[in-house]
Amino acid sequence: MFLLQKRLKHIKLQLKDRNKNEFGNIFEEKKIIEGKMQELKQALIVEGHDKDKSDQATKYHQNWNKLCKQEEIFWRQRFF
């Protein structure tokens, strides 16, 4: 029984490391992307429409949507 407990603990640590390396902290990333999106929105308002900034805003928006889906999956797994 002790050996099984030790193995499970080792697997748990490996899974935590893998999760951290593969997904990172989705909540922090989401906040960072929201801040960047806000900065780009302000720049587009002040400086006018710029194709590069508009493309960058689209890219950030896609990343934000991806993180929202990951967050939704996180909460579903956590409570169900």
The 10s digit of each residue's pLDDT in 6-59 is 999 999 999 989 888 887 889 999 999 999 999 999 988 888 888 888 899 999
User: Concatenated DSSP letters for 26-59?
Assistant: HHHHHHHHHHHHHHHHHHHHHH---HHHHHHHHH
In degrees and rounded to multiples of 5, residue 48 shows phi and psi of 90, 175
What's the pLDDT score for residue 11?
95
State how far the alpha carbon of 70 is from the alpha carbons of 20, 76, 77, in Å: 13, 10, 11
Three-class DSSP category at 64: helix
Query: 79: phi > 0 → left, psi -120 to 50 → alpha, else beta; which?
Result: alpha
What's the pLDDT score for residue 36?
95
pTM above 0.75, yes or no: no
47-75 confidence digits (pLDDT tens) = 888 888 889 999 999 999 999 999 999 89
